Amino acid sequence: MPAVRIPKHHWGKAWRAMIEVAPVRLVSADPVYEVLPEHLELLAAQGVSYEVVGPPRKRQQGSRRASSR
């Protein structure tokens, strides 16, 4: 799924429009939102600026191994 960053001055308009289409998920405190392609089409049609960003990095847990003695 694409992730977008929306400027603060467009956030209210963008948020109200996007939740009419489908749920939106905040994936970063940046704020970055995970959206559907339909959301991108809607934002473009309404003239709302946004930046497509890469998906948030998942923290990889290191494997825990018992130390050999």
Mean pLDDT of the chain: 84
pTM, two decimals, is 0.72
Task: Give the DSSP H/E element, type plus range, for residue 27.
Answer: strand 25-28
Band the pLDDT of 53: cuts 50, 70, 90: very high
- Closest by CA position to 10, among listed 38, 31, 29, 25: 31
Tell me the residue type at 58: K
Residue 6's contacts (CB-CB under 8 Å, 6 or more residues apart) are 14, 15, 31, 33, 43, 48, 49, 50, 51
Whole-number pLDDT of residue 1: 83
Q: Which residues pair with 25 in a beta bridge?
A: 34
